[in-house]
Amino acid sequence: MRVRVNKQPAGSRHPIANGHQIENQQQTDDQIENKHQMENKQQGARKYSSKIIADVMASITPLESLQVETRFILAGRIAGIMDGKRMSNKELAARMKKSPSEISRWLSGTHNFTIDTLSEIAIALEVPVMAFFMPSQPRVVRDVRLTVRSGDIPPDNISFVPVTSAY
Amino acid sequence: MIYVNYEIIELQQFSGKRAGIYSVMVANDNLTLFDHFVKAYVKEHAGEIRSITQYLAYIGNRYGIQNRFFKVKRGWSAEVSCALFDHPEKKLRLYCFRIGTAALIIGGGMPRTGRTGRTARMGVPEKLLDRISRDISRKIQTGDIYWSDQDGRLEGNLIFTTEGD
């Protein structure tokens, strides 16, 4: 098995960037050739695997991973409950006597919630605190209004809304 | 007038079934703007850099591009889309340009400055991203780049030339 670092292949459709595509794993010549053929046929963006990003991701500890994941999940649950109640950031902020920007930060997925803050949010949303730690039930939409617009719209571009939504 | 060539490329470690995550590689550079951002701050802000990489992987693979992940500040150019990871307790913020709900182009990032996080003037990555966002908007309007429903990815002419400094 020959080992090589991927360079810009001859005939590549990417003459501008003069970089090396850095791969972390060894590849056979057949695999490398197949990959270049696939990339040359694609009309999409060149796919890039960064060693710098790979090194960072390899250094993430299980604790850090869980912390980020938990913040995302909590923010998502709160946002989901607000959506279900059709409550805006402004409304929740008014209920809690906070600024809308603070609510936005909570929902961004980066906030480290305290138990006390979650309790306050639960009261404002009128749900038990445990609701933030349980998967939400899927929302059932029984009546749908389908809108199909003609004109300069691609044929597969349609929109639909539940008839219960307020406009 | 100096012109800069650059290319929009897809970051494989972040892109997934929920969104395509892209960055910018300037001609004659081996690294993307995002790589440069990581290199610049990984020693001083290692924990935040690790969080940011996870964040981007989650957006691409699990959550997609949701409005609540982004912040658009008053006073910024209307063409510069938003910031990710912009939180008062964080030291860093990441500039990006959204294309609908399925593609995100990450520029560079900078440390937050001062209590309000405002910068005295536009930093280098923000200025470049400003130009890039205008170029992309123009190409979307002309159809030179587009979103492919079939492949779930950005396609078209993703190589650009813009004014340099």
pLDDT per residue as tens digits for the range B102-137: 788 887 777 766 544 444 444 555 667 677 777 877
Residues of chain B short of pLDDT 50, as ranges, are: 77-80, 115-122
**For residue A127, is pLDDT > 60?**
yes
Residue in chain A lying closest to B57 (CA): A57
Enumerate the residues of chain B whose CB falls inside 8 A of the CB of residue A16.
5-7, 27, 159
**Tally of domains within chain A:** 2
Do the domain assignments include residue A43? yes
- Answer for the pair B95, B129: CB distance below 8 angstroms, yes or no: yes
Q: Is residue A150 part of a domain?
A: no
Q: How far apart are the first and last CA of chain A?
A: 63
Interface of A with B (CB under 8 A): 14, 16-20, 43-50, 52-54, 56-57, 59-60, 64-65, 68-69, 72, 75-76, 79, 104-105, 107-112, 156
Dihedral of the alpha carbons of B51, B55, B57, B58, in degrees to the nearest 10: 130
**Residue matched to tokens 């604790």:** A63
State the pTM of this model. 0.72
- Binning chain A into helix, strand and coil, the percentages to the nearest 5 are 45, 5, 45
In a domain, A15, yes or no: yes
Domain boundary among A14, A40, A59: A59
The sign of the torsion formed by the CA atoms of B15, B35, B129, B51 equals positive
Say yes or no for a CB contact (<8 Å) between A44 and B89: no
At residue B109, the pLDDT reads 73
pLDDT at B97: 80
Which residue range forms the structural domain that includes residue A27?
Answer: 1-59
B90 CA to centre of own chain = 18
Query: What ipTM describes this predicted complex?
Result: 0.83
B70 φ, ψ to 5°?
-120, 155
Tell me how far apart the alpha carbons of residues A24 and A51 are, in angstroms, rounded to a whole number: 7
Give the A:B interface size as CB pairs under 8 Å. 135
Q: How many residues does chain A have?
A: 167
Percent of chain A residues past pLDDT 90, beyond the cut: 51
Instruction: State the Cα–Cα distance between residues A65 and A45, nearest whole angstrom.
Output: 29
Q: A79 and A44, same structural domain? A: no
CA B94, B137, B87: angle at the middle one, nearest 5? 20
Domain shared by A8 and A51, yes or no: yes
Cβ atoms of B147 and B100 closer than 8 Å? yes
| Residue A40 scores a pLDDT above 50 | no
Please check whether residues A25 and A75 belong to one and the same domain: no
Please state which of the ranges A98-107, A145-154, A156-165 shows the lowest mean pLDDT.
A156-165
Give the CA diameter of chain A.
Answer: 66
Contact A50 B54 (CB under 8 A): no
Q: Pick from A38, A59, A80: which residue ends a domain?
A: A59
- Closest C-alpha to A76, from A145, A135, A161, A1: A135
The partner residue sitting opposite B54, judged by closest CB among A14, A52, A68, is: A68
The more confidently predicted of residues B137 and A87 is A87
Q: Report the pLDDT value the prediction gives residue B98, as an integer from 0 to 100.
A: 81
For chain B, the structural domain boundaries read 12-147
B29 neighbors A64 (Cβ within 8 angstroms): no
B151 CB-side CA count, 13 A: 14
Per-residue pLDDT at A19: 37
User: Residue A133 is which amino acid?
Assistant: F
B13:A68 CB<8 A:
no
Dmax (CA) for chain B in angstroms is 45
**Domain identity same for A33 and A55:** yes
Specify whether A70 is located in the same domain as A126. yes
H-helix or E-strand spanning residue A115: helix A115-125
Q: Which of A43, A59, A75 is the last residue of a domain?
A: A59
Per-residue pLDDT, B141: 82
CATH number for the domain harbouring residue A117: 1.10.260.40
